[in-house]
Amino acid sequence: MKKIFIATVLTTSSMHIQTVQADSITNDPLSISDAANAIKWEVGLVTAGALYLGLDSWDWGSSNSFKFNNEGWFGLDTGSAGADKLGHMYSSYLMNELFNKRLNLKTNNKIEAARKSALFSSAIMLGVEVFDGYSNDHGFSYEDLILNTAGIGISYLKNTVPGLDDKLDLRVEYKPTDAYSDHPITDYSGYTYLAALKLGGFERLKGTPLKYLELQLGYHTEGFKKNEQEQFPEAKTELQFGVGLDLSELIFKPINKNRDNAFIHSMGTFFRYYRLPGTYIATEIQERVE
């Protein structure tokens, strides 16, 4: 799974997103160079992480010629039944969220922050795919490119469409497997990817107890690698529907009303991107077995 996951999650979880006063907000044009300079450390960290993983784990440069690779989508005959594709979408989404929030914080320019962060994220992920084209193990995948774009696009819409950020989150839950507990980047069977519809983001529900709840749609695969057969005798996929607690509404927002605390802000941010086990009830609505 070609995703820059751990470094970006840790960086995102440590962000202290401050409130910008209305009279300081600007819509003035922001040049690419000024935007890049404002978040040079964030962009540099993610780019360096991608280069390291590409050279260390993805065999960049092992092929002298550029090649394409048709990896498929969510079929049972693919390498992970689509888990790697959702990994691309989520990682691109997470990266863009990081860039956007940091750029908006530093420039107070919501529109330009959304545009420039999407540009930087797209450039990095396109670069990853191009370098994959020079790897014997991978190759340029248009499926990956499409899902990368989808993740960035969802983040862009959340940061430009009024109210959408209050209603929608993308998250993961991770439970390490026996075979890949020491290598979470490729531990496909350990991940559940989900979209959360937050009822507290709807005006009519903000004054009701329903504001503490979310509707969640998740996707999980397991057992598609040969060395996982002992833990997962069957290779299968699960489409899940669940009802969960909105931890922001239940815990972090009430605390922050009375106490502006950087740690609480960071934890509130983290749990917008990661689902905490035990905070939801889910049922399987579709299962496919190889």
Crossing angle of helices 262-270/6-13, nearest 10°? 140
My answer on whether 140 and 200 are in the same domain is: no
My answer on whether 252 and 108 are in the same domain is: no
Q: Quick one: 219 exposed, middle or buried, by C-beta within 10 A (0-12, 13-18, 19+)?
A: buried
My answer on whether 157 and 58 are in the same domain is: yes
Q: What is the pLDDT of residue 24?
A: 58
Closest C-alpha among 253, 171, 268 to residue 220: 171
The tokens 């190759």 sit on which residue? Answer: 139
My answer on whether 141 and 260 are in the same domain is: no
Q: Dump pLDDT digits (tens) for 39-56.
A: 999 999 999 999 998 888
My answer on whether 220 and 78 are in the same domain is: no
My answer on whether 261 and 122 are in the same domain is: no
Question: Which of these three, 139, 161, 183, is where a domain ends?
Answer: 161
Question: Which of these three, 132, 161, 190, is where a domain ends?
Answer: 161
My answer on whether 103 and 184 are in the same domain is: no
Q: What is the pLDDT of residue 25?
A: 66
Q: Dump pLDDT digits (tens) for 249-262.
A: 999 999 888 787 88
Number of domains in the chain: 2
- What is the residue type of 258? N
Q: Dump pLDDT digits (tens) for 73-108.
A: 999 999 899 999 999 999 999 999 999 999 999 999
My answer on whether 125 and 244 are in the same domain is: no
Q: What is the pLDDT of residue 207?
A: 92
Q: What is the DSSP letter of 60?
A: T
My answer on whether 156 and 172 are in the same domain is: no
Say yes or no to pLDDT of 20 above 80.
no
Q: What is the pLDDT of residue 257?
A: 82
My answer on whether 174 and 117 are in the same domain is: no
Would you tell me how many other CB atoms lie within 10 Å of the CB of residue 106? Answer: 14
Q: For residue 161, name the pLDDT band (cuts at 50, 70, 90).
A: very high
My answer on whether 194 and 88 are in the same domain is: no
Residues in CB range of 20: below 8 A, 6 or more apart = 104, 105, 108
My answer on whether 156 and 181 are in the same domain is: no
Closest C-alpha among 46, 6, 54, 28 to residue 191: 6
What is the residue range of 117's domain?
Answer: 1-161
Q: Dump pLDDT digits (tens) for 208-241.
A: 999 999 999 999 999 888 888 889 989 999 999 9
Question: Which of these three, 161, 184, 218, is where a domain ends?
Answer: 161
pTM for this structure? Answer: 0.91
